[in-house]
Structure 1
Amino acid sequence: MTYWDPIPTVRACVEGEPLPGLAAWVPAYDHSWSTWPDTWQERNWRNVPGPFYGATTDTCWVGRGVAPDHILYDDEFGQEFVYRQPRTPEETHRVMAAAWQDPMRGFQYDGDERWTPELVRDWWRERGRVREWAAALDRSWSVSSRADQREAAAGARAYVSHIDEGLAEYLRGYVFHLAEGRRAHRDEHLPKL
């Protein structure tokens, strides 16, 4: 699957459209992201390029509870980051619910305004560093005595799999979106990474 734009879904929720399942995912939320701090410079280097990213988040490890296919924790401080961008409205809602649970307001969804095609290509060239980190995290946490670390190890495995299969096509579509301001049509060639 190439790039799918979650921003229309985000805007609908921020403007007041109810978030399906929200009560089950997060009891209270602040949907006024426009007042949240600018965290781009502090973003976690493990974030996959895209609209959503985590920076100086809390260390409570709650994001995977609502968005296990998208959120992972680093092993240094326990901060949350986005390892897979959402591809459907429900996935977008889950990532938003994870962000809204963060009392530090360390998530943002302005990546489209920050990433450039060249920055995405730079990230892709350095993907080996992220892959190596995720594989090491899996090896360490999958044998942990802590159930939460063993669960998070599944996210590390999913991240490695995502890097190996599917992420390149997604990023090519994202680079097209950044350059052209729209999704590529089926007959259009996607840019190289």
Structure 2
Amino acid sequence: MNDHSGCREPLPAARAAADTPLPAAVPDLALALPHPETYLTGRWAERNWRNVPGPFYAADTDTCWTGRLAAPDHVLYDDVTGQEFVYRQPRNAVEVDRLLQAAWTDPLAGYGWDGDRHWTTDSVRAWWRERARLRAWAIDLRAAWSGHPDAYRQEAATGLSELLAYLDGGLETDLRLYLFRLEERRSPNPSEPLPELDP
């Protein structure tokens, strides 16, 4: 019997996050997330190739390295441009909120949430077949940033370790769940088999 209990629909959670208070807001100033349409305006054609398949992605973001402050389990930085990318899709409402907070802090509004309109089962499987490219990049960059005197790069190196562990661990199941959602337009029931990434 399969266990898909952790699977949920992230886009309804994103819509429901509007008006959620932001943590660590300026004292005496009530700040809340606005409606996602106002700041999730990234363009699919500009997305970073390192984004894992799913509804959320980062495209032409700023280079201020703020994403991991809100969503360290989901966001990493491109060493060439300094821009952000989503290395793990959120799987529950709390994780969606964290990723939305990271997106909201991007002044260029470069995050997008329309990945479901663009990913196909073929393109997800093609991304999976090319994952060795992401692995090699992460290994090289982790080596460069682990001993770097800059504390932000050292912290980001821990995120690269998490990405590498995810590539070897839970990503395959998460992508199979995503394939099911793309094919069926719903989350699977616990007893339903998941599509294969390498059919």
Give the TM-score of the pair, scaled to structure 1.
0.91
Q: 2:74, 2:25 → 1: CA distance?
A: 15
Equivalent position SS for 1:69: coil
Higher Rg of the two aligned structures: 2
1:78: which partner in 2? 82
Q: Residue 123 of structure 1 aligns to which amino acid in structure 2?
A: W
Find the aligned partners of 1:163 and 1:105 in 2 and give their Cα distance: 27
**Which string of whole-angstrom CA distances, capped at 9 and with x for unpartnered residues, describes residues 63-118 of structure 1?**
00010000000100110010000111111000000001111110011111111111
Structure 2: which 5+ residue stretches go unaligned? none
* Deviation string, structure 1 residues 17-41 (Cα, Å, up to 9, x no partner): x325x14279575535257545100
- Give the structure 1 partner of residue 156 of structure 2: 152
Deviates more, 1:34-43 or 1:120-129: 34-43
Shift of 1:135: 1.2
1:125 Cα deviation after fit: 0.4
2:24 partner SS: helix
- Identity across the alignment (%): 50
For 1:29-68, what aligned pairs fall within 5 Å after superposition?
Answer: 30-33=34-37, 37=41, 39-68=43-72
Match of 2:24 in 1: 24
Indicate if the aligned counterparts of 1:53 and 1:111 stay in contact, CA closer than 8 A.
Answer: yes
1:90 aligns with 2:94: yes
Can you give the 5+ residue segments of structure 1 that lack an aligned partner in the other structure? none
Is contact 2:60-2:110 (8 Å) kept?
A: yes
RMSD: 1.9
Give the number of equivalent residue pairs: 189
- Select 1:129's aligned residue among 107, 111, 133: 133
Q: Is the 8 A contact 1:31 1:100 kept in 2?
A: no
Alignment of 1:80-119 (within 5 A): 80-119=84-123
Q: 1:136 to 1:179 in 2, by over 3 A?
A: same
